[in-house]
Structure 1
């Protein structure tokens, strides 16, 4: 197993803002993501909540702040997207992708460990007449082996769905407050390619 990890820091604009958070939850501004954190994602969830609240949850307020600071409406939107929103979305996307890759690695390692190495089965299946509990134990062992993979895969799917809802809602708000005919989700894809 490769000891994989990545550190993420919230965008500077978020760190400089005086955000207040619901339930007085302490804000987590930097996180090192590992396989263990993907399997038990409570810390990652806190970090994602911080990022989501700092951009998508209060987007109207953020746009108003930029509007006050800039006389040109188009520039204020571009500035907000480039400095705050897209970097925030990119970090969230990268964290979820990291865990998605770890889930694939867990699956591959577990397949190799549990099933085959070079095409031969490691553990012979015991005849049920000799050990009537062997089949059940084997199934339980297999379920245990794949539990982490299932947990991370479900977490990734759930967070992809959350991101899809948030970015879609934010896209609608941006169309109302900035350029009506812009596709902000496509712009974000270009931003990610340019800042990979």
Structure 2
């Protein structure tokens, strides 16, 4: 299925230069369409993930400082809102993109192992006329397997990065928000989704 694709759109906060209120922020959106080719050569995806991580996990100290300065009666609501409207959606989107590439790698690997479209390309020349056709097919197969292995390594690395970032971010947010029931259940829902 080389035609599959995933399109995700995320809000990207930015400073509002035309506003009269101090520190006002506006939200733009950023969209990316991921397909098999972008998983094989993931530089665009990496840029997207890096930007999304920068606008969520990398600013967690700033956001938790804002939470600490909130009135005590609002802390629980603000913590849950921050996790529910900022962290979880960003993590979910990043997970969808990484999972899409993992699925593409699995499909290519299965196709190669079962002689699918990636395994065999139509021979341009009759093998009786060109004895090197078989060698060329083997080289093409090796190249596709190399792409699959690259994709699988990339997916494993991105998942490791996500685990580290999420654990660090949750630790920092938890140090401010305490053990709020809503907070813990939202984090558990995310963990359940990732394990299924």
TM-score higher than 0.5: yes
> Number of aligned pairs?
171
Change over 3 Å in CA distance of 1:182–1:87 after alignment to 2: same
Change over 3 Å in CA distance of 1:134–1:33 after alignment to 2: closer
78, 85, 88: which one aligns with 2:87 = 85
Q: Residues 121-153 of structure 1, C-alpha deviation per residue, up to 9 Å, x if partnerless?
A: xxxxxxxxxx8x999877644422301111110
TM-score, length basis structure 2: 0.72
Q: Which sits farther off after the overlay, 84-93 or 136-145?
A: 136-145
Could you say which residue in structure 1 is the equivalent of 2:105?
Answer: 103
> Is the 2:67–2:176 contact (alpha carbons within 8 Å) kept by the matching residues of 1?
no
| Separation in 1, partners of 2:191, 2:13 | 23
- 5+ unaligned residues in a row in structure 2: which ranges? 17-27, 120-130
Task: Quote the RMSD (CA, aligned, Å).
Answer: 3.4
Matches within 5 A, 1:54-93: 54-66=55-67, 72-93=74-95
TM-score, length basis structure 1: 0.72
| Separation in 1, partners of 2:185, 2:154 | 25
Deviation at 1:172, TM superposition (A): 0.8
Deviation at 1:67, TM superposition (A): 5.1
Q: Which has a greater percent of strand?
A: 2
Could you say which residue in structure 2 is the equivalent of 1:35?
Answer: 36
Deviation at 1:187, TM superposition (A): 2.6
Matches within 5 A, 1:117-156: 140-156=139-155
- 5+ unaligned residues in a row in structure 1: which ranges? 20-26, 118-130
> Is the 1:90–1:192 contact (alpha carbons within 8 Å) kept by the matching residues of 2?
no
